[in-house]
Structure 1
Amino acid sequence: MAAPAGKSIREGSAQKRSAILLAARALFLSDGFDRTSMDLVAAEAGVSKRTVYDYYGDKRTLLAAVVDHTVEALSTAVQRAIDENLVVVPDAAQLEHALVSFAESITVSAIGSSDYAALMRLLYTEATNLPETRSMAWNAEEPEDAVATRFAAFDRDGLLHAPDPRLAADHFVALTISPLTSSLGVVGAEVDEHRVIVEGVRAFLRAYRPF
């Protein structure tokens, strides 16, 4: 998102930038986009209002930065889960367990967090006033790309038949993670996360096991 015409955005100190992001995230989640002012963000972050504008330009850019930070955290969690569960898979018999552990790790460490759920609700709530927010959280493709890289390796090793690893990654997410994210913040929603993931992994493997 571009800064206002004729105004450049300062890189600034990492400490101040982090303080502004944390303050904005907390206020967006507690008060909503419309009720959060740059004055409030500045006060919460312990910086001047000018500093907030210099670093982020306007409130929409600040919201985008908060979302980007969340997506980066998700990408980090996905890569950690890959390293812990999908790097060493000795044979096809171990693949189901590895994929279930991988999906559950993401659910617990990132998607299952209350902040993540609240941010997703915020984006959907503000989609009418800020149409671009609906796609903000998913503009970065790094999480699925990282999964696709591992699926390509599994294809080479004969553990999966995945000639299009990125499509396979999208299918995996749709079967295991997406059903859980769709229930975030839904009042009365009771989801057996383990069952959803296990059945999703089994459906994925029925489609992608080698012939």
Structure 2
Amino acid sequence: MDTTETKKIRKGSSDKRVKIITAARDLFLSDGFDRSSVDAVAARAGVSKRTVYDYYGDKQNLLIAVVEETSGAVLDMIQQAISEYLSEFDDLEQALILFCERFVASANGSTDYSALIRLITMEAANLPVSFLENLDNATEEGILRRFAEFGQNGLLHVPDPELATKHFAALTFLLVFNQPKQSGAIQNEQTKRIITEGVRAFLRAYGPQTIRHENETMY
């Protein structure tokens, strides 16, 4: 078999996978996992039912593949924000605020983020606990690595970078995402306030010990 033919087969295989994942995601979001059949996925993707099974084994593996594919886009957003704001900076507080604002703005404008949240919320019972835990860890991994480095460089005091990362997320972008939606200007103002105060609370807890001790003596 020549190289040209091999490339065509590989591209075709990749195209089929994209079509299957797209079809499955649309159906899982509109009809739910339990009410979506492999036959329906195959029909929407324009492939045979056998092809779906050959690629993904069963419907649960297909759901996992859909969530993995969707989460990959979200992880890329986080990594992009880390690269832009947490790699080089003059002021850590401002860098953390800008990082959160960028991620929130990207997530709010992303169909992948909204789809990921809906899939996890709707189909948690159909996803292995270990898979959800790994997904949660993957979402935090980039931030965790940066916080560990900040600890080594003396920018943060983080005996437990994993716990610090969870605290940071809970105080900032996760808190924003959990707020009820409001009109544009009010929403933007509320988002900025939550992120700014969340970052400051985080730094009061995890800033360098000398800074925290100085702050404590002021009260």
The TM-score with structure 2 as length reference comes to 0.77
- Deviations along 1:23-48, one digit per CA (max 9) or x if unpaired, are 11111112221221112211221211
Q: How does 1:115-154 map to 2 (within 5 A)?
A: 115-127=112-124, 130=126, 132=127, 136-140=131-135, 141-154=137-150
Which residue of 2 is the match for residue 167 of structure 1? 163
Which residue of 2 is the match for residue 8 of structure 1? none
- Deviations along 1:73-110, one digit per CA (max 9) or x if unpaired, are 222211111100000023xxx11111011112222223
Distance 1:115 1:147, change over 3 A: closer
Which residue of 1 is the match for residue 63 of structure 2? 63
Which residue of 1 is the match for residue 80 of structure 2? 80
Does the 8 Å CA contact 1:20/1:45 hold for their aligned counterparts?
A: yes
Please give the alpha-carbon distance, in whole angstroms, between the structure 2 residues aligned to 1:162 and 1:123: 30
Distance 1:72 1:122, change over 3 A: closer
- Equivalent AA in structure 2 for residue 179 of structure 1: L
Which residue of 1 is the match for residue 13 of structure 2? 13
Superposed displacement of residue 126, structure 1 = 3.4
Distance 1:113 1:138, change over 3 A: farther
1:126 aligns to what SS in structure 2? helix
Please give the alpha-carbon distance, in whole angstroms, between the structure 1 residues aligned to 2:121 and 2:159: 34
- Equivalent AA in structure 2 for residue 53 of structure 1: Y
Superposed displacement of residue 152, structure 1 = 1.8
Segments of 5+ residues of structure 2 without an aligned counterpart are 1-11, 210-219
Alpha carbon RMSD of aligned pairs, Å? 2.3
Please give the alpha-carbon distance, in whole angstroms, between the structure 2 residues aligned to 1:170 and 1:119: 19
Identity level (%)? 53
Superposed displacement of residue 111, structure 1 = 5.7
Please give the alpha-carbon distance, in whole angstroms, between the structure 2 residues aligned to 1:115 and 1:65: 14
Superposed displacement of residue 156, structure 1 = 2.4
- Equivalent AA in structure 2 for residue 38 of structure 1: V
Please give the alpha-carbon distance, in whole angstroms, between the structure 2 residues aligned to 1:160 and 1:105: 22
Superposed displacement of residue 207, structure 1 = 0.5
Which of 188, 193, 196 is 1:195 aligned to? Answer: 193
The TM-score with structure 1 as length reference comes to 0.80
Please give the alpha-carbon distance, in whole angstroms, between the structure 2 residues aligned to 1:136 and 1:33: 17
Q: How does 1:26-45 map to 2 (within 5 A)?
A: 26-45=26-45
Segments of 5+ residues of structure 1 without an aligned counterpart are 1-11
Which residue of 2 is the match for residue 6 of structure 1? none
- Deviations along 1:172-208, one digit per CA (max 9) or x if unpaired, are 111112223435xxxx644632222112111101101
**Structure of higher CA gyration radius:** 2
Please give the alpha-carbon distance, in whole angstroms, between the structure 2 residues aligned to 1:77 and 1:172: 17
Superposed displacement of residue 64, structure 1 = 0.9
Bigger Cα displacement from structure 2, 31-40 vs 21-30: 31-40
Aligned length: 191
Superposed displacement of residue 135, structure 1 = 6.6
Does the 8 Å CA contact 1:151/1:160 hold for their aligned counterparts?
A: yes
Which residue of 2 is the match for residue 209 of structure 1? 207
